[in-house]
Structure 1
Amino acid sequence: MGSLPDLDTPSPSLSSRISTVVPATPRGDQNGAYRLNYMDLLMKLHYIRPVFLFNSQAVQGFSISDLKKPMFPLLDLYCHVSGRIRRSESGHPFIKCNDAGVRIAESHCDRTLQEWVDGNGNGNAVEGLVHDHVLGPDLAFSPLVFVKFTWFKCGGLSVGLSWAHVLGDAFSAFDFISKWSQMLAGQAPPKSLHMPNLPEPQILPNSISGNPPISIERTNIVGEYWLATNDKDVATHSFHITSEQLHYLITATSNQYSDTTNKAKKTTYFEIISALLWKCIANIRDQNFGPKAVTICTSKPNRPENESPTNGFIVLSKIEAEFSIGKCEISELVKLIDENKMVENHVVEKLVEGDLDFIVYGAKLTFVDLEEANTYHGVKLNGHKPIMANCTFHGVGDQGVVLVLPAPEDNELNGGNGRIVTVSLPRDELDQLKDKLGEWGIH
């Protein structure tokens, strides 16, 4: 099948206009302060950028006014999302809930959606369909969220979200745009969002103790411009792994092994995809068949519905191998990922103090599990699912990041779902990775 495009494809937009949406109910003198916790501040140099592509039938009858209208009551729920960053007297950042609003960008593309899809593999490009948004250098005036609507020549539409990670994780970003689509369809919004009751990080049996965490890396002080710099040219590309290819991967690499109780355990798709790419990238880097240490980013289960955006469910774990990654079997790496994750949250919390800046994604090679993201059933227009959805992270470090996301249903008899694997790596490594995954029939 054709490959998905490089996500640094030049923008397809011909023109763009910017407007602002504020909460429907002004807070007036009741402006509050939203406190940022250690995980929010840890993620402050990263940005989440999902995109949803819809055909003309899905958006028939919609105008830009129709699309903007649900945003006003939506921001009544997400009041701090329309706020701005401020600093306390001690220099600690917080969000002032001042109704400054989110930005709406409307663009027009000189191609049809089909031409865009045909010209870019399967149309998973994000660059150009998401506003290039970074906080600062004037933090007090920088919107935390941009929503970009790009109309295609045929009447199709893309909905692109640029979400400052300091607000919440990728699931929070997906939930925000899902709530918007529900309200666009006429559903009543919840009366309020639940503030997550998050316990303090604890030292668990599988937690590290006494060692510096590998899952974060301190950067040079960035001050009021919240984006770390790269030493290498980091590029992004998406691969589509079909359900048939996933089944083959599991079969070819022994999808079951026995744990300590001799009970069979089924491999998750995230684990096997991570193992495959870890081995491929290790061979590309060829430094004693490294990297031998990687970060796994997952989310705590049982997240409640209608939760306020949060980074508090993120779990950062390290995995270290004592053998050459490039030489081992993929099944060995799958088992290592499943059994040897060491949680670093509680150690990370102790380091994120004062005015220090860190990166997470790309500090070490990072694998992010977004398999449970409700990208196809959660966001609908006129009852239609997007024909394609994808997500990238902005602000990724030189070691790279791998996102594992749902794919649309395959056109196969079993109606299975594959995975979209969006990879950001130094450009030369990414080109080699395309060749290595091509040997598995993955493009």
Structure 2
Amino acid sequence: MGVNSDAAAVYGHKLSTVVPGSVSGETVVHELADMDLVMKLHYVRTVYYFQQSETVDGLTIVDLKKPMFRWLTSYYPVTGRIRRTEAGRPLVKCNDCGVRIVEANCCRTLEEWLQVPHSARWRPLVPDKVLGPDLRFSPMVYVQFTKFQCGGMAIGYSWSHVLGDPVAGTNCINLWGQLLAGNPPPKSLLPHSARTPTARPARQPPVSATPLSVKQVEPAGDLWLIADACKMATDSITITESRLKHLQSEKLNSVPAFEMISALFWHCLASVRRGGREPRVVTICRHKPRAKKCAELSNEQMISTVSTSHASPADLDLAELALLVSKQKVDETTLVEESIDGDGGKPDFVVYGANLTFVDMEGVDLSGLDIKGEKPVQVDSVIDGVGDEGAVLVFPQGADAGGGSKGPAAVLILPEDQILKLREVLKREFDMA
């Protein structure tokens, strides 16, 4: 089964739009912070897979849409559209234009679909739309409901990263699931408060060095999409708890799982890219360690770099690389934010894939979406708009939300010709399939 045949198996697409249940007001805007604008060329695509059950069978599209009116009343900025100030800086006008809903069918069973390799199966089940070229009319969030032949269902969720990081995105869709079940949101979760424009002081050019963690690209204009020099593909590798402990060994048992897994893939990809293309500098993206309230929309990543100049990462001991990632990170978060112009939001940047990028997905609650008590048996979650150096998303309990017993999972977003070579290195050097 190839990519084209997988896409052809999903048919009968119907489009509609859902708006908030109450009017937010034409004068309300959601101001985009500097870090939001840094992330504007990236998109989070997630697909939740649900087995056939009496509950899933009984849901109609009306049932699925009904709680969305209340959901979007809390999250009304996601139903807005991008506008620009007179100076050219983007913002979200909260005009209640809505999120786009897609209904589709699949001629295969869910069991058959999950046998398709990760690299191919998720794309037909989640809209791959980007913002633009007509920003005034481009939805920022899409939800696709796909019914399988067996009665199972996939929920594809496309989230524009400019709205917030993956934690904010999953909090958003998880609230819809709570409302679908008839549950009120927890009292501790606050309703969204839109950020309104504030007077911006004149910003002096930063005196510090250009950040290594991002790559400046040609201004995207009104089409928020990066042009990859090579074809990117995705894959998923599960790392068992026993294998992780073996990698950590006695002298590395204090190194956390994320740092250990990052070092592993840094070493292996350096082996794949020998000949002057080894990644000597890598970017680390982590979410700030605080609970994000329900409807808070923000990009709160900490962006840092780790580098090795004296030798290729392929020639370094895995323990040395792991300690570098754990203890030698250089925080560039403030420097990255300062790179955004105070008015127009230019220049434009790529974060994921500017260097080989490792993203800690701890706190991204993929198992938090349930359908009236039904949990997804599998979740595929990737980031679109990744630059040519690639990215590795590290999920601490695995990207399968069905139990989490498999151990951590790494979702690879890499140039297509490197996936198989990487697996060969993992097998040869670490006996990992």
- The residue type paired with residue 49 of structure 2 is L
1:388-403 to structure 2, matched below 5 A, reads: 388-403=378-393
Query: Per-residue deviation at 1:318?
Result: 0.6
Of 361, 365, 376, 1:386 maps to 376
Which residue does 2:92 correspond to in 1? 95
Of 168, 173, 177, 2:169 maps to 173
> Structure 2-normalised TM-score?
0.89
Runs of 4+ with deviation above 6 angstroms: 5-9
Deviation string for 1:379-429 (max 9, x for gaps)? Answer: 111312211112111111001011012324899xxx834122111111111
Which residue does 2:281 correspond to in 1? 293
Which residue does 2:58 correspond to in 1? 61
Counterparts in 2 of 1:246 and 1:306: CA distance versus 1, 3 Å:
same
Which residue does 2:414 correspond to in 1? 425
Which residue does 1:115 correspond to in 2? 112
Of 111, 136, 147, 1:151 maps to 147
Counterparts in 2 of 1:196 and 1:100: CA distance versus 1, 3 Å:
closer
Of 85, 95, 118, 2:82 maps to 85
Q: Larger deviation: 336-345 or 350-359?
A: 350-359
Give the 3-state SS of the residue equivalent to 1:73 in structure 2: helix
Give the 3-state SS of the residue equivalent to 1:69 in structure 2: helix
Which structure 1 segments of 5+ residues have no match? 198-207, 257-265
Is residue 132 of structure 1 aligned with residue 122 of structure 2?
A: no
User: Would you tell me which structure has more helix in proportion to its own residues?
Assistant: 2
Is the CA contact (8 Å cut-off) linking 1:194 and 1:307 kept in structure 2?
yes
Query: Per-residue deviation at 1:334?
Result: 0.9
Counterparts in 2 of 1:73 and 1:95: CA distance versus 1, 3 Å:
same
Distance (whole Å) between structure 1 residues aligned to residue 369 and residue 10 of structure 2: 23
- After superposition, the CA RMSD in angstroms is 2.5
Deviation string for 1:71-120 (max 9, x for gaps)? Answer: 111110111100000011111111000000000111100000011123x1
Which residue does 1:361 correspond to in 2? 352
Give the 3-state SS of the residue equivalent to 1:70 in structure 2: helix
Q: Larger deviation: 280-289 or 227-236?
A: 280-289
Query: Per-residue deviation at 1:60?
Result: 3.1
- The residue type paired with residue 98 of structure 1 is N
Of 361, 364, 369, 1:373 maps to 364
Query: Per-residue deviation at 1:234?
Result: 1.4
Which residue does 2:41 correspond to in 1? 45
Which residue does 2:245 correspond to in 1? 247
1:287-366 to structure 2, matched below 5 A, reads: 287=275, 290-311=278-299, 313-322=300-309, 323-353=311-341, 354=344, 355-366=346-357
- The residue type paired with residue 20 of structure 1 is T
Counterparts in 2 of 1:303 and 1:431: CA distance versus 1, 3 Å:
same
Distance (whole Å) between structure 2 residues aligned to residue 343 and residue 196 of structure 1: 28
Q: Larger deviation: 185-194 or 165-174?
A: 185-194
Query: Per-residue deviation at 1:247?
Result: 2.9
Which residue does 1:262 correspond to in 2? none
Is residue 270 of structure 1 aligned with residue 258 of structure 2?
A: yes
- The residue type paired with residue 77 of structure 1 is S
1:161-200 to structure 2, matched below 5 A, reads: 161-189=157-185, 192-193=190-191
Give the 3-state SS of the residue equivalent to 2:421 in structure 1: helix
Is the CA contact (8 Å cut-off) linking 2:172 and 2:294 kept in structure 1?
no
Equivalent residue pairs, number: 412
Is the CA contact (8 Å cut-off) linking 2:81 and 2:137 kept in structure 1?
yes
Query: Per-residue deviation at 1:372?
Result: 2.9
Distance (whole Å) between structure 1 residues aligned to residue 363 and residue 431 of structure 2: 25
Deviation string for 1:354-379 (max 9, x for gaps)? Answer: 33211100011100000332212x11
Counterparts in 2 of 1:410 and 1:142: CA distance versus 1, 3 Å:
closer
Distance (whole Å) between structure 1 residues aligned to residue 251 and residue 6 of structure 2: 41
Is the CA contact (8 Å cut-off) linking 2:18 and 2:100 kept in structure 1?
yes
Distance (whole Å) between structure 2 residues aligned to residue 296 and residue 34 of structure 1: 28
Which residue does 1:213 correspond to in 2? 211
Counterparts in 2 of 1:121 and 1:137: CA distance versus 1, 3 Å:
closer
Is the CA contact (8 Å cut-off) linking 2:170 and 2:365 kept in structure 1?
yes
Which structure 2 segments of 5+ residues have no match? 196-205
Query: Per-residue deviation at 1:17?
Result: 0.6
Which residue does 2:201 correspond to in 1? none
Distance (whole Å) between structure 1 residues aligned to residue 56 and residue 120 of structure 2: 19
- The residue type paired with residue 362 of structure 1 is G
Q: Larger deviation: 185-194 or 282-291?
A: 185-194
Is the CA contact (8 Å cut-off) linking 1:289 and 1:327 kept in structure 2?
no
Which residue does 2:199 correspond to in 1? none
Q: Larger deviation: 384-393 or 347-356?
A: 347-356
Deviation string for 1:238-297 (max 9, x for gaps)? Answer: 12223333233333x8433xxxxxxxxx22221111111000000111135821100000
Counterparts in 2 of 1:49 and 1:302: CA distance versus 1, 3 Å:
same
Give the 3-state SS of the residue equivalent to 1:385 in structure 2: coil
> Structure 1-normalised TM-score?
0.87
Query: Per-residue deviation at 1:302?
Result: 1.6
Is the CA contact (8 Å cut-off) linking 2:378 and 2:402 kept in structure 1?
no
Deviation string for 1:208-265 (max 9, x for gaps)? Answer: 98221111111112211000101111111112223333233333x8433xxxxxxxxx
